[in-house]
Structure 1
Amino acid sequence: MFRRRLTALVCSVAALGLLATGCGDSDGGTPAAEKGTGKVTFWSFVKGSDKVAEAFNRSHPDIEVTFEAVPSGQEYYSKLTNAVKAGTVPDVAVAEFAQLPEFATQGKLEGLNDRLGPLVEDHFPESTRELVQLGGETWGVPRDAAPLMMFYRNDFFTSHGIDVPTTWAEYRTMTGQVRKADPKARGGVLYTDNPGLLTALAQQAGSQWFGTEKDAWKVSLTDAPSRKVADYWGDLAGQDLVHSLSSLDPFWTSVQQNRTVAYVCASWCAGAQQATVADQKGKWSVAPVPTWDGKPASAMYGGSSFVIPKGARNTAAAAEFIKWITTDPEGMKAWVSTGTSSMFPADPRLVPVTKSAFPTDYFGGQDIYAVGSESYKSIVPGWTWGPVMGTTNTAVVDRLP
Structure 2
Amino acid sequence: MFGNHFSGRRSALAASVIIVLAGGLTACSGSGGDTAPAAQEGPVDITFQSWVPNIDQAVDAYNASQDDVNVTLETITAGPDGGYAKMLSAVQAGNPADVAQLGYDAIPDFLVNDALEDITEYVGDQEDKFVPWQWETGVFNDSVYAVPQASGPLGQFYRKDIFDSLGITYPKTWDEYYEAAKKIRASDPNRYITAFAFNQAPWLIGLSQQGGGKWFAAENDAWTVTINDDETLKVAEFWQKMIDEDLVKIEADFSSEWNADIQNGNVTSWISGSWADAILRGTAPDTAGQWAVGAMPQWEDGGDVSATWAGGSASAVLKGSDHPKEAAEFAAWLNSDPESVSILTSVGAGWPAIADTGSIASLQDDPEVFAFYGGQDIWDVFSESDKNVDTTWKWPPLSSTLFASLSDNVKTAVESGTPLTDAYDKTQDDVSTALKDKGIAVN
> TM-score scaled to structure 2, two decimals?
0.79
Aligned twin of 2:396: 386
Aligned twin of 1:295: 303
Distance 1:342 1:308 in 2: 19
Task: Give 5+ residue unaligned stretches, structure 2.
Answer: 20-30, 415-443
Q: Which has the higher helix share?
A: 2
Give the fraction of aligned pairs with identical amino acids, expressed as a percent: 30
Q: For each residue in 1:27-50, what CA deviation from the matched residue of structure 2 results, as whole angstroms up to 9, or x when unmatched?
A: x99966556543323222222333
Aligned twin of 1:255: 262
Distance 1:176 1:344 in 2: 32
Task: Give 5+ residue unaligned stretches, structure 1.
Answer: 1-14
Aligned twin of 2:73: 67
Deviation at 1:392, TM superposition (A): 1.6
Q: Which of 329, 337, 353 is 1:328 aligned to?
A: 337
Distance 1:71 1:198 in 2: 21
Deviation at 1:347, TM superposition (A): 1.9
Deviation at 1:53, TM superposition (A): 2.5
Q: For each residue in 1:2-26, what CA deviation from the matched residue of structure 2 results, as whole angstroms up to 9, or x when unmatched?
A: xxxxxxxxxxxxx999x9943479x
Q: Which amino acid aligns with 1:119?
A: Q
Aligned twin of 2:283: 276
> Contact conserved, 1:22 with 1:217, CA < 8 A, in 2?
no
Distance 2:38 2:162 in 1: 57
Q: Could you say which structure has the greater relative contact order, defined with CA pairs below 8 angstroms and 6 or more residues apart?
A: 1
Q: Which of 376, 399, 422 is 1:366 aligned to?
A: 376
Distance 2:372 2:5 in 1: 45
Distance 1:36 1:232 in 2: 57
Q: Which amino acid aligns with 1:40?
A: I
Q: Which amino acid aligns with 1:295?
A: G
Aligned twin of 1:76: 83
Alignment of 1:333-344 (within 5 A): 333-335=342-344, 341=348, 343-344=350-351
Q: Which of 114, 123, 126 is 1:116 aligned to?
A: 123
Aligned twin of 2:420: none
Distance 1:139 1:147 in 2: 23
Q: For each residue in 1:65-116, what CA deviation from the matched residue of structure 2 results, as whole angstroms up to 9, or x when unmatched?
A: 2333333344221111111112112221111222221001221112234433
Deviation at 1:170, TM superposition (A): 1.3
Q: 1:36 to 1:259 in 2, by over 3 A?
A: farther
Aligned twin of 2:314: 305
Q: For each residue in 1:165-199, what CA deviation from the matched residue of structure 2 results, as whole angstroms up to 9, or x when unmatched?
A: 11111111111121123332111221021111110
Confirm or deny that 1:140 pairs with 2:149: no
Which is further off, 246-255 or 270-279?
246-255
Aligned twin of 1:40: 46
Distance 2:353 2:188 in 1: 39
Distance 2:49 2:198 in 1: 30
Q: For each residue in 1:276-316, what CA deviation from the matched residue of structure 2 results, as whole angstroms up to 9, or x when unmatched?
A: 11111111111111111131111111421100111222221
Q: For each residue in 1:219-277, what CA deviation from the matched residue of structure 2 results, as whole angstroms up to 9, or x when unmatched?
A: 21011211111111122112211111101122222222221112311212211111111
Aligned twin of 2:429: none
Q: Which of 174, 196, 199 is 1:193 aligned to?
A: 199
> Contact conserved, 1:193 with 1:247, CA < 8 A, in 2?
yes
> TM-score scaled to structure 1, two decimals?
0.87
Q: Which of 2, 15, 19 is 1:22 aligned to?
A: 15
Partner SS, residue 217 of structure 1 = strand
Aligned twin of 1:159: 165
Deviation at 1:364, TM superposition (A): 0.5
Aligned twin of 2:208: 202
Deviation at 1:371, TM superposition (A): 0.7
Deviation at 1:121, TM superposition (A): 5.0
Q: 1:23 to 1:29 in 2, by over 3 A?
A: farther
Alignment of 1:166-245 (within 5 A): 166-245=172-251
Q: Which amino acid aligns with 2:185?
A: R
> Contact conserved, 1:29 with 1:110, CA < 8 A, in 2?
no
Distance 1:32 1:300 in 2: 37
Give the alignment's Cα RMSD to 1 decimal.
2.7
Q: 1:264 to 1:68 in 2, by over 3 A?
A: closer
Distance 1:237 1:130 in 2: 38
Q: 1:358 to 1:306 in 2, by over 3 A?
A: farther
Partner SS, residue 217 of structure 2 = strand
Distance 2:72 2:219 in 1: 41
Q: 1:214 to 1:106 in 2, by over 3 A?
A: farther
Q: Which amino acid aligns with 1:332?
A: V
Q: Which amino acid aligns with 1:345?
A: P
Aligned twin of 2:252: 246
Confirm or deny that 1:349 pairs with 2:359: no
Deviation at 1:54, TM superposition (A): 2.4
Distance 1:165 1:240 in 2: 19
Distance 2:235 2:409 in 1: 15
Distance 1:163 1:16 in 2: 55
Q: Which amino acid aligns with 1:328?
A: D
Partner SS, residue 98 of structure 1 = helix
Deviation at 1:122, TM superposition (A): 4.1
Deviation at 1:319, TM superposition (A): 1.6
Q: Which amino acid aligns with 2:60?
A: E
